[in-house]
Amino acid sequence: MSNGNFSLSKEKINFLLLEGIHDRSQEYIRRAGYNSIDSHKAAPERADLEQLIAEAHFIGIRSRTRLDADMLARAERLNAIGCFCIGTDQVDLAEARRRGIPVFNAPYANTRSVAELVLGEVIMLMRGVPAKNMACHRGLWHKSAIGSHEVRGKVLGIVGYGHIGSQLGILAEGLGMKVVYHDILDKLPLGNAEAAAGLDDLLSRADLVSLHVPDTEQTRGMMDRIALARMRPGSHLINASRGKVVDIDALADALRNGHIAGAAIDVFPVEPSSAEEEFLSPLRGLDNVLLTPHIGGSTREAQENIAVEVAAKLVRYSDNGSTMGAVNFPEVSLPDHAGARRIMNIHRNEPGVLQAINGIISQAGVNIAAQYLQTMPDVGYVVMDVEAEDTPGLVAELDRISATIRTRYLY
């Protein structure tokens, strides 16, 4: 079954942007030559969305718009989805793939924002600022150097040396800290950072431990009672990664009994779903803890980065067919196709499809200048740069292959 082919000129391509996506995205899309942009401040009601999505070739959403299988069934023209955020749980990714729709997001646009917040917390914790701040608010004057330290020369232990962890390491070295890290992958150290022999080694050496791992079966509960006990007496813990990585009750105990001197926690095992819901945590009321409401990545700059990164991915897919960075789709990175005509075929990954595609092309006596193919178990994506006069005719034939989901071409 074909979803219909899509080979429109730019003025006929509709972008639907929802949930007040930052203006920079519109600027980017317009500059790329697309002027049909319907932008909405809020997430539309379901019935309204059903109407809007039927006309859209590209849609940009944030976290409140649900694109489930029923909604995607209404999106007959839709070619790609941009999630202008980090998460993509709001989209039925497998169904989108089955319909030949790649989904893009911006997983690393807020890396710097998280690293900067953590760096600030490193200094605050080493000076005991959270408790001193609380005391001042209560009218107390705890003017003392006890338990206060410069960060220069201290050991920062980074667990998860990915985008955020490695950037934090560089910033911390700028303050004269010694950085040790632990990662399950062999990661090349940046600057003078040193790989620890393992998590236990890191915990036993660090004055401050900062967590930057994803939420996986392996990391859930990683900082449990035993791991917390392995941290140096009087050391500090920062978690701006995912809430379930730390056993929060065990942490509250370790903070109360002083084994851990202080903590800065931005993410929690259970978080309120809206501003109306009360934030409940065993860490509330502990003066030596800096609590923030999951704002590690929430800055104006990160929002701008997200707007441009996702808009660029949508435009690139429309202009050139590249799917690099798609979270649900075979990833193909394509050069420009100056002088050639590009045909893109998305198909169910069944035996014989490629043969059928190549058969049609060779029967037409058309020369293929370049061909790119990537597959996932259920879906394949093949891109061909061809020297053909009658590209629409070829596209129509490719569309007739029973496994074809969608074919389009570009000049």
Work out how close the CB of 224 gets to ligand NAI at its nearest, in angstroms, rounded to a whole number: 13
Bridge-based pairing state of the strands 194-195 and 15-17: unpaired
Which x/- pattern, by CB under 6 A, does the window 53-82 give for ligand NAI? ------------------------------
Identify whether the C-beta of residue 379 lies closer than 8 Å to the C-beta of residue 347: yes
Site string for ligand NAI, 371-410 (x = CB under 6 A): ----------------------------------------
Asked if 241 interacts with ligand NAI (CB under 6 A), we say: yes
Site string for ligand NAI, 285-314 (x = CB under 6 A): ---------x-xx-----------------
Site for ligand NAI in 82-121 (CB under 6 A): 86, 108, 110-111, 114
With respect to ligand NAI, which residue has the nearer C-beta, 226 or 396?
226
Site mask for ligand NAI (CB under 6 A), range 253-292, x = bound = -------------xx-------------------------
Residues 315-374, interacting with ligand NAI (CB under 6 A):
none
Paired strand residues for 238: 210, 264
Which residue of 214, 234, 293, 335 would you call a contact of ligand NAI, by CB under 6 A? 214
Q: Which is nearer to ligand NAI, 164 or 386 (CB)?
A: 164
Q: Which of 11, 76, 150, 271 is catalytic?
A: 271
Segment interacting with ligand NAI (CB under 6 A) among 158-166, 172-180, 368-376, 383-391: 158-166
Tell me how far apart the alpha carbons of residues 289 and 208 are, in angstroms, rounded to a whole number: 14
Smallest distance from the beta carbon of 45 to ligand NAI, in angstroms?
A: 29
| Active-site residue, selected from the candidate residues 30, 74, 220, 294 | 294
Q: Among 182, 232, 236, 337, which residue interacts with ligand NAI (rule: CB under 6 A)?
A: 182
Which residue number, 72 or 119, has a Cβ lying nearer to ligand NAI? 119
Query: Does residue 19 have an active-site annotation?
Result: no
What is the SS3 string spanning the chain? Answer: CCCCCCCCCHHHCCEEECCCCCHHHHHHHHHCCCCCEEECCCCCCHHHHHHHHHHCCEEEECCCCCECHHHHHHCCCCCEEEECCCCCCCECHHHHHHCCCCEECCCCCCHHHHHHHHHHHHHHHHCCHHHHHHHHHCCCCCCCCCCCCCCCCCEEEEECCCHHHHHHHHHHHHCCCEEEEECCCCCCCCCCCEECCCHHHHHHHCCEEEECCCCCCCCCCCECHHHHHHCCCCEEEEECCCHHHECHHHHHHHHHCCCEEEEEECCCCCCCCCCCCCCCCCCCCCCCEEECCCCCCCCHHHHHHHHHHHHHHHHHHHHHCCCCCECCCCCCCCCCCCCCEEEEEEEECCCCHHHHHHHHHHHCCCEEEEEEEEECCCEEEEEEEEECCCHHHHHHHHHCCCCEEEEEEEC
162 is a site residue for ligand NAI (CB under 6 A) = yes
As a whole number of angstroms, the distance between CA 244 and CA 217 comes to: 10
173 in active site: no
Strand bridging mode 341-348 / 379-387: antiparallel
Residues in the interface with ligand NAI (CB under 6 A) total 31
Q: Which residue in 82, 100, 165, 380 binds ligand NAI (CB under 6 A)? A: 165
The least CB distance from residue 87 to ligand NAI, in Å, is 9
Nearer to ligand NAI by C-beta: 59 or 106? 106
For the question of residue 31 being annotated catalytic, the response is no
Nearest residue to ligand NAI by CB is 162
The reply on whether position 163 binds ligand NAI by CB under 6 A is yes
188 contacts ligand NAI (rule: CB under 6 A): no
Integer-rounded Cα radius of gyration of the chain: 26
Q: Which residues are catalytic?
A: 242, 271, 294
Interface residues toward ligand NAI, by CB under 6 A = 86, 108, 110-111, 114, 159-165, 182-185, 212-216, 218-219, 240-242, 266-267, 294, 296-297
